[in-house]
Amino acid sequence: MKTLAMGPIALLALCAAAPTQAETGEELYHVYCIQCHGTAGDGRGVNAAAMDVLPRAHIDPVEMGARQDADLNKVIHQGGKSINKSVLMPSWGHNLTDEQVEKLVQHLRVLCNCGG
């Protein structure tokens, strides 16, 4: 029996194309973010091992507290390159509504236990 081997970035692209029924920020995070940022938000998702630069740890209150909500919104919409961060962070603006992005930003604030 043959198995299909897929690189982490290809898997991420496949997941990005899949429609979602996620409604809450936490559900959206589990659909779109944990592959790189980890289930705990520690930046150690399954794709992280294949990356030269580790994804942001969303549980870090110092790093995340230094980010404005507008910056988080922008990076989710337009990808890492939009705020001079990793080009491996994809843009989700074509997959997510503005309301969903806002829910994700609010969930990031819960993960880091910090304000925007």
DSSP code string of 35-98: HHH-TTSSS--TTGGG-SSPPP-TT-HHHHHTS-HHHHHHHHHH-GGGGTS-TTS---TTTS-H
- Round to whole Å and give the CA distance between 94 and 52: 26
Report if residue 97 sits inside a domain: yes
Report if residue 56 sits inside a domain: yes
Could you read off the pLDDT of 29-77 as tens digits, one per residue? 999 999 999 999 999 999 999 999 899 999 999 999 999 999 999 999 9
What mean pLDDT is reported for the chain?
Answer: 87
Report if residue 72 sits inside a domain: yes
Report if residue 22 sits inside a domain: yes
Report if residue 95 sits inside a domain: yes
pLDDT band at residue 22 using 50, 70 and 90 as cut-offs:
confident
Report if residue 2 sits inside a domain: no
Q: Which CATH number is 25's domain given? A: 1.10.760
- Which residues 6+ apart lie within 8 Å of 78 measured at CB? 91, 93
Report if residue 4 sits inside a domain: no
Q: What is the pLDDT of residue 3?
A: 41
| CB contact at 8 A, 55 and 37 | yes
- Which residues 6+ apart lie within 8 Å of 34 measured at CB? 45
pTM surpassing 0.75?
Answer: yes
pLDDT band at residue 97 using 50, 70 and 90 as cut-offs:
very high
pLDDT band at residue 7 using 50, 70 and 90 as cut-offs:
low
| CB contact at 8 A, 27 and 16 | no
Report if residue 63 sits inside a domain: yes
Range of the domain at 99: 9-112
Average pLDDT of span 20-37: 92
The total domain count for the chain is: 1
Nearest alpha carbon to residue 31 among 105, 110, 104? 104
